[in-house]
Amino acid sequence: MEKSMVYTWMESPVGRLLLAADEKGLRKLLFGGKPEPGWREDPEALSETVRQLRAYFAGELHDFDLPLAPEGTPFQLRVWRELRNIPYGQTISYGELARRIGSPNSSRAVGLANGANPISIVVPCHRVIGSNGKLTGYGGGIENKERLLALEKEHPLFAR
């Protein structure tokens, strides 16, 4: 990671979150975790991210407007871009996500990319579920996946 990486912590309804960014944008939003060597704590640099996350958890924000800079393979980046197209309060299956990126036979690879998402919540990997409708693995724990989906059902989209 670059030496210009800054981080802060945020308490949330799904536990303590570690946020990290550089001049290109938000790089990581992790459940727990530890800052890497060379990162500098700077809550002010991430104040807009924290503000938007608080609004999301309050049910007041449904679409994040933040510069994002995840690092991954071209395939992972394609999956993560498509995750951002899943509407608030909705879920899709891994197979559907694979179809949406034009790779219908790659649901297993899509699942691995989904699990490697470094910017959870903002890049809503929690909205992807098993084809049988059951919740499957989540880096922040299944209970947090349930909480995030329940939050989105509790605060449905309003007419725009």
Residues that are catalytic: 125
Residue 28's CB is within 10 A of a number of other CB atoms, namely 23
Task: Give whole-number Cα distances, 138 to 45, 90, 126, 156, in Å.
Answer: 28, 16, 7, 22
Bridge pairing between strands 128-129 and 92-93: parallel
Closest by CA position to 30, among listed 54, 12, 3:
12
Distance of alpha carbon 124 from alpha carbon 132, whole angstroms: 19
Distance of alpha carbon 121 from alpha carbon 12, whole angstroms: 11
Provide the angle, in degrees to the nearest 10, between the axes of the packed helices 74-83 and 107-115.
80
